[in-house]
């Protein structure tokens, strides 16, 4: 299996773990409102940090090196018919038009977005982006919100994610590519 195919499979597995973990973590915090409030604040802060460094993602998506692949965004999508809650979901195969229009394919299936499923095309605005990720060699960059969840995950799931996450979400990027949120 090539690095890109292995990375894609690993990223899909990680996205699935993160989706399940996010549900598990928030569910586990249900009995402790203070813990849930802390987690939500940490996730909001992580999303702000991810958005602050979004120019790094756009730069590499537009001109990836041979060692960079599997670009994904985490976006907040509005609910579909019969649902009242927005859902955050990872998307892939991102297309960014010159006019700023964004479209991508769902990288996972979430009940809150039914009848949409993995692979379906969605359109969204840049303001709905809450996180980003891509592989550089064997390191997974970005995943700011995932890093917040790590201490709250079952140890085996956390270990799988830690094994692929880069030490720093930006890899070796400088702080020069930032945007105000």
Low-confidence ranges of the chain (pLDDT < 50): 1-3, 5-6, 9, 20-31, 174-181
Give the number of domains in the chain: 1
In a domain, 180, yes or no: no
CB 75 within 8 A of CB 129: yes
Q: Is the peptide bond before 115 cis (omega within 30 degrees of 0)?
A: yes
In a domain, 181, yes or no: no
The pLDDT tens digits of the residues spanning 13-31 come to 555 555 544 444 444 444 4
In a domain, 55, yes or no: yes
CB 73 within 8 A of CB 129: yes
Per-residue model confidence (pLDDT) at position 139? 95
In a domain, 95, yes or no: yes
Strand ranges in 39-136 using DSSP code E only, listed in sequence order: 68-77, 87-96, 102-106, 121-124, 129-136
Expressed as residue numbers, the domain containing 47 is 3-164
pTM as predicted = 0.79
């Amino acid at each position: 299996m090539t690095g890109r195919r292995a990375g894609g499979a690993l990223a899909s597995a990680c996205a699935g773990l993160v989706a399940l973990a996010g549900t598990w973590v928030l569910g586990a915090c249900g009995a402790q409102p203070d813990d849930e409030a802390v987690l939500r604040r940490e996730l909001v802060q992580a999303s702000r940090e991810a958005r602050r460094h979004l120019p790094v993602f756009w730069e590499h998506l537009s001109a990836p090196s041979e060692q960079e692949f599997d670009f994904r965004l985490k976006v907040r999508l509005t609910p579909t018919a019969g649902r009242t809650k927005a859902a955050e979901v990872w998307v892939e195969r991102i297309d960014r038009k010159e006019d700023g229009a964004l479209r991508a394919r769902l990288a996972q299936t979430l009940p809150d977005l039914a009848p949409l499923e993995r692979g379906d095309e969605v359109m969204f605005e840049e303001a709905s982006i809450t996180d980003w990720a891509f592989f550089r060699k064997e390191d997974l960059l970005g995943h700011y919100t995932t890093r917040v969840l790590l201490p709250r995950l079952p140890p085996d799931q956390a270990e799988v994610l830690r094994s692929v996450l880069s030490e720093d979400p930006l890899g070796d990027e400088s702080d020069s590519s930032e945007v105000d949120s």
